[in-house]
Structure 1
Amino acid sequence: MKYRTLGSTGLDVSVIGVGTWQFGGEWGKDFAQDEVDEMLDKAGELGINLIDTAECYGDHLSEEFIGRY
C-alpha cells in the first residue's frame, strides 16, 4: 500500500480509503455490525487506514458502525 502524509498533521494515510456511505442503508442493503467489521478488518489487512464518512450517511449510522468497530 502506498501512503501519503495528510497535510501538516504528520499522519500517513493510505492512498486508497474505505468509503462508508453504503453502511447507512441508503444503498438498498442494511448492513449488520459483523459485516462492517469484516470489511474493515480486510481493509486493515490490506494496509488501508483511511475511512471516509460523513454525518449524512444514514443519519450517522455509518459512524456508529465505525465507532463500535
Structure 2
Amino acid sequence: MIRDEAMRLVQHLMDGRITVESEAAATLGALKTGLVCPTSATTSTETSIPELNAEKFMARALAYEPFAL
C-alpha cells in the first residue's frame, strides 16, 4: 500500500466519513495488511487526541518495527 492511499484511508476514518461498521473494519484490515503494523494499537487510544492527524498517525504506523519474542 502506498503512503498516499493509507493517508486517505486514515483521514476517512478520522473524519467520520466511514459510518458502516463493516466498512470501518475492512478499512482497518487493509491498513493493517498494507502497512504491516498493528493498527489496533495505534488507533485504540490515539484517535481521541485532538492534535493527532493523519500525518502523525502515518508517522507512528510507519515507525513500527516488529520484534520476535
Q: Normalization by structure 1: what TM-score?
A: 0.32
Bigger Cα Rg:
1
Q: Which has the higher strand share?
A: 1
